[in-house]
Amino acid sequence: MVFMEDSERAAMMSQERGIDAGLHLNFTTPYSSPDCPALVQARQCELAIYLRKHPLARLLFHPGLVRAFDYVVKAQLDEYRRLYQNEPHRLDGHHHMHLCSNVLIQRLLPPGTLVRRNFSFQPGEKSAVNRYYRRLVDSILGRRHVLVDFLFSLPPLEPAERLRRMFSLARRFSVEVETHPIKAEEYRLLTQGEVFRLADGLPIASRFAIPPCGRAHADRPTVP
């Protein structure tokens, strides 16, 4: 995240330690950096009020917020470039709001970048309409951006078959697993060796990198 209280220090640590950091676009949580320009804060506040008003707000294109979305995205991209002295080659969003209709229809994300797709679900996990909408958004996203083949949230950790299936897919596809190690059960799975048993010999990528075409080859399985 940029324009947050600890963004400067985080960027410095990332560069010093060679951490692979992308841009986590933020439209919903107030910027906390004392150096954030007032106009950027004001425009982002407009977006936050709208996007947090209703769960379906992200699905609807808002013509009255076109300029605000454009301004806030460009401001975050410019701030990332200033902090990291580089282009953000990977993009996702806080609360996945980078996939809201205004961002997609206005084509605000730099073309050719690796962008986080929708979460992947099996029939029965979400409604058919929900899964169709996700496929539609991913199809639109894939025309201009590089995507992994599947994105899963690490929890729920039960049933165990769900985790085994997630990791088995990585033998043929490029799979991203989102996790929040601040949560105790996820931290234990990641640090006590269970994740390596699940991976069962699969190489876990040290950096977020997938083939340019966006689809992993059978002989190059990765779990970003």
Q: pLDDT truncated to tens, each residue of the chain (224 aa)?
A: 999 999 999 999 999 998 889 999 999 999 999 999 999 999 999 999 999 999 999 999 999 999 999 999 999 999 999 999 999 999 999 999 999 999 999 999 999 999 999 999 988 889 999 999 999 999 999 999 999 999 999 999 988 899 999 989 988 898 999 999 999 999 999 998 888 888 888 877 777 767 544 444 333 344 44
Q: Structural domain boundaries of the chain?
A: 7-121, 148-224
C-alpha–C-alpha distance, residues 58 and 50, integer Å: 9
C-alpha–C-alpha distance, residues 23 and 112, integer Å: 14
Residue 45's identity, in one-letter code, is C
| Long-range contacts from 165-169, C-beta under 8 angstroms, 24+ separation | 167/198, 167/199, 167/200, 167/202, 167/223
CA distance between the termini of the chain: 20
Q: What is the model's pLDDT at position 183?
A: 95
Partners of residue 153 on adjacent β-strands: 178
Q: What is the model's pLDDT at position 49?
A: 97
**Looking up tokens 């029939």, which residue turns up?**
123
Q: What is the model's pLDDT at position 179?
A: 93
Q: What is the model's pLDDT at position 209?
A: 67
